[in-house]
Amino acid sequence: MKLEELALKVLESAEAAGVDFMAVGAIAAGAYGIPRSTRDVDLLVSIEVPGGVERLTAALAPWVEFDPQIVFDTIPWGRRHVGRSRATPPFKIEIFETFADSFVQSEFSRRRQVFVPMLNRSTWLPTPEDVIVQKLRWGRSKDLEDARDVLAVQGTESLDMPYIEKWCALHGTAERLRMALAEIPPLD
């Protein structure tokens, strides 16, 4: 099974489970920036629908084996369910639950339907501004590259830079934003 096929199963299962969700991680960054290879599918799921996450993981059982132990991250996500695809090659699936973090709440409330070329369909994604803020918050090297690429492709003139700057100031990532902007190659 290809990653794109698995991602479609995850999205279709989320829709069938009746949960509010959005694709995050490399899928969202690639939709707004420069697509890169990835070996995982990341989904942020609202916990507003009781039992929704459980219905989603049960619906994915034919394709994904989830670890029975739920992981709890203090920053930048709360609870997450980690699974591995049953097919070869194995891919990682992470289902993050929304939680009482002001940025996560803002990001989720601003989500929108976007056509994702790698999936050849529309799905719920964060805004490009929220992808940038989240990637800068995560701060891993690939996340910083993703943030820079979204900034470069979208262009600062089309982004809500005060929104991005506000969250970066609150998260202590303003220097990461400055560095990402400085790394954008000039257009000739």
- Asked whether residue 88 is assigned to any structural domain, the reply reads yes
Residue given tokens 């009781």 in the structure block:
50
Write down the residue that tokens 């029975």 correspond to. 68
Residue 63 is part of which domain span? 3-182
Q: Is the pLDDT of residue 69 over 70?
A: yes
Would you say residue 37 has pLDDT above 90?
no
159 within 8 A of 151, measured Cβ to Cβ: yes
Confidence band for 74, pLDDT divided at 50, 70 and 90: low
Number of domains in the chain: 1
pLDDT tens per residue across span 96-121: 999 888 999 999 999 999 999 989 99
pTM for the whole thing? 0.92
Question: For residue 187, is it within any domain?
Answer: no
Taking residues 48-64, report their average pLDDT: 92
Q: Does a structural domain hold residue 188?
A: no
Q: What CATH number is given to the structural domain containing 114?
A: 3.30.460.40
Radius of gyration of the chain (CA): 16
Q: Which of 6, 42, 5 is nearest to 131 (CA)?
A: 42
Please give the Cα distance from 155 to 43 (Å, whole number): 26
pLDDT digits (tens, 9 = 90+) for 146-179: 999 999 999 999 999 999 999 999 999 999 999 9
